[in-house]
Amino acid sequence: MSKKIVLILIVFLAFTQPNAEERDFFEELEIQSQSESRRNAVRVFSTIKETVSYSLNDRKGFKEGISQARSYVRLGMEAQPGPHLKYRLSGVYAEDLSHTYHSDLELADSYIDWGISDKVWLKSGRQTIAWGQSDFFQILDRANSRDMREFGLVGADELRIPVAATKLSYLGNRWGMDAVILHEVRVNKLASQGKEFDFFRDLRPALTEERTPSDTEWMMRLSANMAFGDASLIYANSFEDNPYVAHDPQKGNLYLNYLKTQTVGVSGNIVLDRAVLKAELAYNNQSSLRAKQGSISGPTVFKPTTNLMLGVEYAPNSDRFIMVEASNTYVNNHDESVGVSESQSAIISSLTQEFLRDELKLFVSWGHWFEEKSDLIRIGGEYALTDDIKLGIDYIDYRASDENALLEPFKDHDQIKTQLTINI
């Protein structure tokens, strides 16, 4: 009998007590109220990165061990004194105590963005102009060259190299137009002689010179946003960002040069529920291609090419992100002088998963070049110690199945990279 009473009491308490507890969670939380920052004032910002990489193998000219010990500082200021004016000044200094990079000291994004009217804007200075849909393949992103000194490992914030340009934009409600003139020619940063990721290592004794192009580059874009997706039509008159190898018969040496090319293309995306399908299609009136060995035309031939990129970004939930991009380059008028296949394809994919309310991010990515028989696998993570301090670690694996593979020179460069990033 007494057991029954105890049981009834337990049941009674179980159904009455929680309400009292639940109400507690509605109590107002007191925090030290943060005042709104002075948004009109000049904002000073800086990023400090300390990177240490450890190479896991002996490779040509280099031993297993620390391959990179790099300090990177970006310092800048930005102000928006009114709704029609924004200016920004920033610079970068970087020093690598080991053997992957050179030192850098240069003006980064530094520009004035001026609204002549609500709908007409002029932006002048060193800037980044990202028009393409692809995050990896450089198809219609023709304004900015890229930092390729460490193949596959350069962070997204350092990848695009800002260029001095003037951009005139018209902002329609659902469409817009941009015209850009570049005031300097900047080309991809490639690892130089004696550095670990030197693409031209095997040509170096004869390769003695790099010629700098000095012609005006310009480009235009017409873009539209629709309910189902976005679309752009782009024309560019610009230099290829990667050099080609040429032979100087008078000096008897090889040198690097850059090809001016005209590109016309379309890019766009379509939203399908939780996925965004994206595409880029471009026609280049001429591209530099490796010539067949022994070709009378020299080490490089020039042919029109067509580039296609198809990709998908899929977020099954707010913590998971899947991305796949596939590209194909088709060589028009392909003949026996050309040393690469008529059609060359590559695929890049990645999976990112966030944990602990975005504090921990883990990712795996894989790149495969079909005709070049190469693979790149990267597994890593990033943990936010605070909002401003992040710690990252990456493992990267380069694979090349034969001696002609794209990544054959780097096949032993597998490494572990750690990075501490402080944003202020």
Partner 1 sequence: MKTKILTLVLALTSTLTYAAPSAFEVMQAVDNRYIGDTRTQSGVLTLIDKNKNQKTRELVEVSRKINADDQSVTQVISPAELTGTSFLSYNYDDVQSQDESWIYLPQLAKVKRLAVSDRKGYFLGSDFTYNDLAGMEISLFDYQFDTKRSSEKEWVIDAYPSKTDTQKAIDETGYTRVTYWVDKDKKLVTKAQFWLEDGDRVKYFRASNIVQKDGIWTPLKLQMILTRNRQVQHSSIYEVKIVKYNVQVKDHVFTTRYLGKKIN
Considering only CA atoms, which of 284, 180, 166, 174 is closest in space to residue 223? 174
Q: What is the largest CA-CA distance in the chain?
A: 113
Of the candidate spans 203-211, 237-245, 266-274, 297-305, the one that interacts with partner 1 by CB under 8 A turns out to be 266-274
Of the candidate spans 180-188, 197-205, 235-243, 352-360, the one that interacts with partner 1 by CB under 8 A turns out to be 352-360
- Contacting partner 1 (CB under 8 A), which of 2, 3, 5, 36? 36
Shortest distance, position 8 Cβ to partner 1, whole Å: 22
DSSP output for 88-107:
EEEEEEEEESSSS---EEEE
Kindly state whether residue 43 participates in binding partner 1, applying the rule CB under 8 A: yes
Task: Please give the helix or strand (H or E) that residue 212 lies within, else none.
Answer: none
Query: Which C-beta is closer to partner 1: that of 228 or that of 336?
Result: 228
Please answer whether residues 144 and 130 qualify as being in contact, where contact means their C-beta atoms are separated by less than 8 angstroms. yes
The C-alpha atoms of residue 348 and residue 311 are separated, in whole angstroms, by: 9
Contacts of 104 (CB under 8 A, 6+ apart): 92, 93, 94
The C-alpha atoms of residue 421 and residue 3 are separated, in whole angstroms, by: 63
Burial label for 22, CB within 10 Å (0-12, 13-18, 19+), is exposed
- Contacting partner 1 (CB under 8 A), which of 317, 333, 402, 403? 317
Kindly state whether residue 99 participates in binding partner 1, applying the rule CB under 8 A: no
Kindly state whether residue 61 participates in binding partner 1, applying the rule CB under 8 A: no
Question: Can you tell me whether residue 388 is helix, strand or coil?
Answer: coil
- Contacting partner 1 (CB under 8 A), which of 2, 16, 212, 386? 386
Shortest distance, position 151 Cβ to partner 1, whole Å: 20
- Contacting partner 1 (CB under 8 A), which of 69, 147, 166, 176? 176
Could you say which residues in the range 122-161 bind partner 1, by CB under 8 A?
Answer: 127-130, 135, 156-157, 160
Shortest distance, position 106 Cβ to partner 1, whole Å: 17
Q: Which two tokens stand for residue 404?
A: 């002609």
The C-alpha atoms of residue 165 and residue 236 are separated, in whole angstroms, by: 14
The C-alpha atoms of residue 73 and residue 96 are separated, in whole angstroms, by: 12
Of the candidate spans 8-16, 54-62, 96-104, 167-175, the one that interacts with partner 1 by CB under 8 A turns out to be 167-175
Query: Which C-beta is closer to partner 1: that of 173 or that of 214?
Result: 173
Query: Which C-beta is closer to partner 1: that of 203 or that of 389?
Result: 389
- Contacting partner 1 (CB under 8 A), which of 95, 230, 248, 414? 230
CA 167 to chain centre: 21
Of the candidate spans 57-65, 239-247, 268-276, 341-349, the one that interacts with partner 1 by CB under 8 A turns out to be 268-276
Q: Where are the beta strands (DSSP E) in 258-298?
A: 260-272, 275-290
Binding site for partner 1 (CB under 8 A): 18, 21-22, 25-29, 31, 33-37, 39, 43, 45, 80, 82-83, 86, 109, 113, 115, 118-119, 127-130, 135, 156-157, 160, 169, 171-174, 176, 223, 225, 227-230, 269, 271-276, 278, 313-315, 317-319, 357-359, 386-388, 390, 423-424
